[in-house]
Amino acid sequence: MGKTVLKNIEWLGSDNRVHQGDIGIDNDVIVAAGTLDSNWQPDRIIDGTNKLAVPGFINTHTHAAMTLFRSYADDMQLMDWLQNKIWPAEAKLEQDDIYWGTLLAIAEMIKTGTTTFADMYFSMQEIARAVEESGIRAVLARGMAGVTPNAEQALLESETFFKEYHNSCDGRITVMLAPHAPYTCPPPYLKKVVQLAEKLGAEIHTHLSETAGEVEDCLKEYGASPIALMEEVGLLAHGVLAAHCVHVSLQDIEIMRERNVRVAHNPGSNLKLASGIAPVPQMLAAGICVGLGTDGAASNNNLDMLEETRLAALVHKANTGDPLAVPAAFALQMATANGAFALGLGDRTGKLDTGCKADITIFDIQAPHWYPRHDRLSLLTYAASAGDVHTVIVNGRILMENRRLTTLDEERIYAECQARGMRLCR
């Protein structure tokens, strides 16, 4: 990787201000942001004229290989969509499908400025292979369901995967445990997940309180909301990343605050599946960390974090009548630093400062929608488009330069995924 300088570039610092100068990268770390020592000799210079560098986006919740089901089943509610379209199609998935579907997702994520994603799926070795080859950063978790015949097998696979892959690949891959949801994981199974989390020191990624129906059913069956149920079985003591949290009560929010539950907010998927709008302003007011996610490409239908950032900034304004509910700068923080914290990546990821990991997305801002430049954070949130992403760096390595992917063969990925997607959804 060596030494790279982003010369005379504008960048968004963690102080939410735009700075201008040079950014020095030494292997995987930003060693200077501002003025570089004149003795510092880079191996490569990237011209920063009319470019804006931001911390790479962090997608806190997706199912990458579900790109294969994009545009296959739309305009349905969650349970109808899962039970009648998605799960039958997933039953036909082979290992290679998951590898190619994940590569398609990674290509899309890099091209839209994402440098880290959190994935919950199966055949995790295939997903790790795609992550390893592409150079992206990922937090991977084998999805587990207690109601399926391979429930015990899923626990064993999760343990093996954690032992083999946690903190692997130069630190680009970390691993969590992923009980799918309360309606697929009954309490005795959740307790086994808790035991495994204790044994491994692993954190947990799960779906919680996504629909009103899920909460109703949970109350009927267990006399507790999904959040309260997770607390009862001991899951929330283990560091939980909870996707959705659309239908959470004030009592739920209090439990989440006490247990430091981090939330992956997926506004696009929640809107499209008609699940609702998560009470993000209330969760933020309680001090809960909220990051952003796309969910899978079959319910979004893309993996564009800039779109998710804009939706997060917009929907809560309309939902609360308060234009300050999620301001532009905060939406960007949710897509970057909050995401890193939500995924347990520490405070040196998701920020663009000296000493931080060199995960950087560079926008080309020489385009009509970037003028006039009153406020670059506003332009990023409300006017930018994914097509403006010019160069993407992860762990100090350039994964896209001048819109060309450096580690992936796009044409091959498209051909594989077209054929595989057609076979699966026939």
- Contact positions toward ligand LTUXU72L, by CB under 6 A? 63, 78, 82, 86, 90, 120-122, 143, 145, 180-181, 207, 210, 269, 295-296, 299
To the question of whether residue 359 is assigned a binding role by annotation, the answer is no
Stretch that binds Zn ion, among 291-299, 300-308, 323-331, 400-408 (CB under 5 A): 291-299
Question: Considering beta carbons, is residue 295 or 359 the nearer one to Zn ion?
Answer: 295
The rounded distance, in Å, linking the Cα atoms of 140 and 117 is: 8
- Whether 90 has a binding-site annotation, put simply, is yes
Residue 269 binds which entry of Zn ion, ligand LTUXU72L, none, CB below 5-8 Å type-dependent: ligand LTUXU72L
Structure tokens at 56: 């790479």
By a kind-dependent CB cut-off of 5 to 8 A, residue 146 interacts, out of ligand LTUXU72L, Zn ion, none, with none
| Residue of 295, 304, 308, 416 interacting with Zn ion (CB under 5 A) | 295
CB of 275 to Zn ion, least distance (A): 11
Indicate the residue type of 151.
A
| Secondary structure element (H or E) that encloses residue 410, with its range | helix 410-424
Per rule CB under 5 A, is residue 308 in the interface with Zn ion?
A: no
Closest-approach residue to ligand LTUXU72L (CB): 143
Q: At what angle do helices 95-111 and 124-134 cross, to 10 degrees?
A: 40
Nearer to ligand LTUXU72L, 213 or 344 (CB): 213
Is 390 labelled as part of a ligand binding site?
A: no
Kindly state the smallest distance separating residue 273's Cβ from ligand LTUXU72L, in Å.
6
Of 9 and 240, CB closest to Zn ion? 240
CA 145 to chain centre: 21
Nearer to Zn ion, 145 or 393 (CB): 145
Centre a 10 Å sphere on the Cβ of residue 387 and count the other Cβ atoms it contains.
13
**CA neighbours within 13 Å on the CB side: how many for 238?**
28
Give the range of 87-95, 133-141, 274-282, 289-297 binding Zn ion by CB under 5 A: 289-297
Q: How far is the CB of 195 from ligand LTUXU72L (least distance, A)?
A: 19
**Which amino acid is it at 329?**
A
Backbone angles phi, psi at 104, to 5 degrees: -60, -45
Q: Is 207 annotated as a binding residue?
A: yes
Those residues with Cβ within 8 angstroms of residue 154's Cβ, 6 or more apart along the chain or in another chain: 122, 142, 143, 144, 145, 148
Q: Which is nearer to ligand LTUXU72L, 120 or 389 (CB)?
A: 120
CA distances from 424 to 66, 67, 102, 106, 294 (A): 11, 12, 15, 20, 22
Tell me how crowded residue 199 is: count the other CB atoms within 10 A of its CB: 10
SS3 assignment, position 35: coil
- Indicate the annotated binding residues for substrate: 90, 142, 180, 210, 295
- Indicate the annotated binding residues for Zn(2+): 61, 63, 207, 295
Residue ranges in contact with Zn ion by CB under 5 A:
295
